[in-house]
Homo-oligomer: A and B are copies of this chain.
Amino acid sequence: MDRLRKHIEQITPLTDEEFDYVRTFFTLKKVRKNQYLIHEGDDTKYEYLVLSGIYKVFFVDNAGKEYIVQFAQQNWWMSDYDAFFKEKEATMFIECMDAGEVLYSTLASREKLSADLHKMEHFFRVKLTNGYVALQQRIKLLLSSTPQQRYAEFSKLYPELIERIPKKFIAEYLGVSRETLSRLYAGKS
């Protein structure tokens, strides 16, 4: 739970007493490679804070084609947030690509922590602000960029993911073909 405290204190300091209260809202879970944390059709009860490992958040269209919305690694939060906040069935999947550990928590916990501790409401607001800006950037990239620009932007934002994620998934995330991506990796295009 030290990692949780460190994560929160990047945004707001907590007293020992406050953290002892906060920690009761989170549960540790080990995740195996290829294990699903969320599956389309499930009730979406939890959000996850990644302590280690790599995960992909994706959905599948009627034709069975897969679309990656987000990768997640250490200190990222992830869920099918539309379903989580509205307490609906998931329309997305979260699958572990590289084994690790997560902390999970419920919507009721997020709301109670925010109501009880102004500091935690601040923490969640700052995390949402960062998430909002990241999604707006992703929309701009999807709307406009060439494969070269998308790959360059992704490499700049997430250099460590380039090394750790199979190319086919990065191609899928960027919406480019594997052949194009291979040329970009080789620096030939």
Contacts and interface: CB of A to CB of B under 8 A. Distances in A.
Contacts of A177: none
Interface of A: 59, 61, 65, 67, 69, 81-82, 85-86, 114-115, 118, 121-122, 124-125, 128-129, 131-133, 135-140, 142-144, 175
B139 A139 contact: yes
Contact of A142 (B61, B121, B131, B142): B142
Contacts of A128: 125, 128-129, 132
Contacts of A118: 118, 121
Contacts of A129: 85, 128
Given A81-B136, A118-B121, 13 more contacts: A59-B144, A67-B140, A67-B144, A69-B136, A69-B140, A82-B133, A85-B133, A86-B133, A121-B121, A121-B122, A128-B128, A132-B135, A139-B142
